[in-house]
């Protein structure tokens, strides 16, 4: 993502992901075989490699520990009877060491159960097995499906404390406000967007929301991007560019004229790039670099202090 230079102030904030630091697994004495843990994926104790999940206990507890190399427990993140965990790729289950122990404030084990880390297989598993907490998100801008090289803007229902995605090779994100997220698709695959609410250093409530990133061809086929979503040039005409051509896109066509602060950027800089900005009317000049498609994103703040997100789609022949 390239931030437009010359704006009055930076309005993007990428939150620090301090909650990703995990507490090392404590040594434990393995007892008798126990039942499978209740996890985000269901009652079979499944965790998926390379992504987050909640591991739940049926009783109150203070903390948890495990010696199983297939999982890391994110100790600060609690959500009622659950604790956030991360499945470790390349580790296999072993009946002798795959237990998770839940402890009370005195260090007494109050519950133990087993987990197993496996690869997420879309042919077998469902996206719903990656979802936990509140995923009642509202889309504010972008195409209905998240595409590689394109962007969306989403609003969460309550103020967030921290955010992350499990795999930044597939998608990445940035925050624009306490409730607004910019999500960038990078390559086809499945990612889990994690947003936390609560007080740092006390406890968090975790919400795990899966997204599938699709290729443009897979999602739209030969029809491509629909005309209403295509960017417009300074004259209001649908914008079509060939490699090497430049064009101006005016913010006023999307946000109106009563704008105080604003930024503009291109989701996939190998397809097009911002080469200049203009102040009156507010807008950007872009240059087409390679065949393909991408999103052009504007974030604006009105004179009344209200923030707005705007996305149009660019196709380069």
pLDDT tens per residue across span 79-119 = 678 899 999 977 555 546 789 999 998 999 999 999 999 99
Tell me how crowded residue 44 is: count the other CB atoms within 10 A of its CB.
Answer: 14
What pTM was estimated for this model as a whole?
A: 0.83
pLDDT for position 148: 96
Name the 3-class secondary structure at 1. Answer: coil
pLDDT for position 21: 41
For residue 20, which phi and psi values (nearest 5 degrees)? -75, -15
pLDDT for position 199: 65
pLDDT for position 201: 56
- In angstroms, the CA 205 to CA 284 distance is 40
pLDDT for position 111: 93
pLDDT for position 24: 41
Tokens, residue 308: 């707005």
pLDDT for position 43: 94
In DSSP terms, which residues pair with 193 in a beta bridge?
165, 209
pLDDT for position 1: 38
pLDDT for position 303: 66
Pairing assessment for the beta strands 116-118 and 82-87 based on DSSP bridges: unpaired
List, in order of start, the domains of the chain with CATH numbers. Answer: 30-118 (2.60.40.3440), 133-220 (2.60.40.1080), 225-316 (2.60.40.1080)
Regions of the chain short of the pLDDT cut 50: 1-31, 33, 95
Among 72, 11, 22, 77, smallest CA distance to 47 is for: 72
- In angstroms, the CA 175 to CA 182 distance is 6
Tokens, residue 309: 């997100």
Chain position carrying tokens 């923030």: 307
């Amino acid at each position: 993502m390239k931030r437009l230079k010359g704006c009055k102030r930076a309005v993007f904030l990428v939150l620090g992901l301090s909650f990703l630091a995990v507490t090392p697994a404590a040594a434990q004495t393995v007892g008798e075989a126990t039942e499978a843990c209740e996890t985000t994926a269901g009652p079979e104790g499944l965790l998926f490699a390379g992504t987050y999940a909640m591991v739940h206990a049926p009783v109150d507890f203070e903390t948890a520990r495990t010696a199983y190399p297939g999982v890391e427990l994110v100790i600060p993140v609690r959500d009622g009877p659950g604790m956030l965990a991360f499945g470790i790729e390349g580790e296999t289950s072993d009946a002798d060491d795959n237990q998770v122990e839940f402890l009370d404030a005195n260090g007494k084990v109050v519950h133990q159960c087993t987990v197993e880390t496996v690869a997420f297989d879309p042919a077998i598993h469902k996206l719903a097995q990656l979802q936990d907490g509140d995923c009642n998100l509202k889309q504010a801008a972008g195409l209905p499906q998240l595409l590689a090289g394109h962007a969306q803007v989403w609003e969460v229902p309550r103020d967030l404390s921290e955010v992350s995605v499990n795999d930044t090779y597939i998608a990445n994100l940035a925050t624009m406000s306490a409730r607004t997220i910019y999500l960038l698709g990078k390559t086809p695959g499945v990612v889990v967007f994690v947003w936390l609410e609560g007080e740092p250093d006390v406890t968090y409530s975790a919400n795990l929301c899966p997204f599938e990133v699709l290729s443009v061809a897979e999602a739209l086929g030969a029809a491509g991007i629909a005309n209403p979503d295509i960017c417009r040039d300074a004259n209001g005409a649908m914008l079509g560019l060939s490699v090497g051509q430049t064009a101006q896109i005016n913010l006023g066509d999307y946000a109106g004229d009563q704008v105080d602060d604003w930024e503009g950027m291109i989701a996939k800089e190998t397809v097009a790039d911002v080469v200049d900005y203009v102040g009156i009317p507010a807008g950007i000049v872009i240059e087409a670099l390679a065949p393909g498609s991408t999103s052009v994103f504007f974030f604006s703040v009105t004179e009344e202090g209200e923030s707005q997100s705007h996305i149009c789609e660019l196709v380069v022949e």
